[in-house]
Structure 1
Amino acid sequence: MHNEQLAAVFKALSHPIRMDILDFLKDGPKTTGDVNDNVQDVSRYAVMKHLTVLEEANLILIRRQGRARLNYINVLPLQQAYERWVSQYQHSTAKSAIALKRFIEGGEENMTEQGLQHDSFQLEQEFEINSTPAKVYTALTEDIGKWWAYRLCGEGSTMTLTPEVGGTFIEKGQHGAAALWGTVYFVKDNEEIRLQGLLGMTGAVNSAYTFKLEPKGNHTVLKLSHHAVGLLDPEWGRMHDEGWKELLGQFLKDYVETGKQPEIN
């Protein structure tokens, strides 16, 4: 990261309203109208100026859907600033993201060769499960290894999710193999869990997913929200859409309602 880029990041972070905007965007992409409504006692013109400063610092990415402008948080500049000023140690995923960014800075042609492009996807799904929110929450946390059939560390690996801020959703296999599926950044027992994690994606990607549980008579409505932004393979959105439907709509639902466990891949 050049000094000019670093200065732009620090400038963007120097105002409390811009910090509030980034905090607001951590939960997922928001329209400019949503951002304006969330900021108190500030004109829409002032909010637009703050968003422009954040965009110039590359801390937010813009995607238009029809007439709406969606604002996505981009954490990569923060990771770079952390690496430059705070610690010489960095999580391997963040390092690979920064290395990939440096590699493709030569131009759009290199990105095409790698099959990646600046893009985003937003997935919203709902599943009705014949059980209480408490039992579904237990399956999502204590019992996640019994129905989460996708594995990265091979046969016989174990999976655990610690439902506390900073807790990990981690897989451990044989011979020291391990994979981090997510890190918890918000939790409310029996109601909601929010995590950040690549879920099999690699490189310069910011990915976050949320499970919300709402009672509906004798049932529970499980709402999934998953958004990702960065250098994406065009197939990742479709693959995750299909994967969540199988994991939550089939494997989790069957496990909670009947105790059936899927074959682990």
Structure 2
Amino acid sequence: MDQVFKALADETRRRLLDRLHEENGQTLGELCEQIDMTRQSVTRHLALLEAANLVSTVRRGREKLHYLNPVPLHRIQERWIDKFERPRLRVLGAVKRQAEEAMTDKPTFVYVTYIASTPEKVWDALTDADLTAAYWGHRNESDWRPGSRWAHVRTDGSGIADVVGTVTGSERPTRLVTTWGAPGEEGDVSGHSRVTFDIRPHGDIVRLTVTHEDLADEDERADAASGWAAVLSNLKSLLETGRPLPQEPWLVPSG
């Protein structure tokens, strides 16, 4: 929280967050066009925002795209606002919605979380069928080799897969890329969305970045936002405490 408040205390850094709120997924050059200072100075401000987890980055070829990450803002809300039973600030909801909006040629949803674990354990939690069943309510089944099929199979014994796709990138324990689609669309890879898991050491913990792109419409973006927040919270609890959350987050009514 100290890093978040320090980052928000500077007017320039607040302006950079405003620019990303207006248009998410900008390059350094695009941000510099709107800030009257040198690239080096803007880079330093962005580094502080990234250290505070207010900005996350995704590389796309030679470009480095910057995304507003609303998670620390919501933690401030939960700690300093909700406990006093004040109404939720609409502006925070607007920031979150804007963070999930992106152009069709850029990642649609980016979520960053930090987990007290190792890259190997995080990888296994994403790919081991029994572990995914414990916190996701589905078994992720595949041999996880590039080009292989994977399936998101219900745990009720029916054998029904609600999501299927192809493993397009697999570099244990740092990076996993899969396409996602309905079972009937399995052969139509072009119509699938794509999910990338980047798993990186961050000191003694792990930084997990989930990028979900090529979503079809606003409804899918909203589903991705709520779905990933719930699943990754459950994953974090399992790895850090040895058990998932006492209630499945996606089954608890909001509000």
TM-score, L = length of structure 1? 0.47
> Computing the radius of gyration over CA atoms, which structure comes out larger, 1 or 2?
1
Higher relative contact order (CA 8 A, sep 6+): 1
TM-score, L = length of structure 2? 0.48
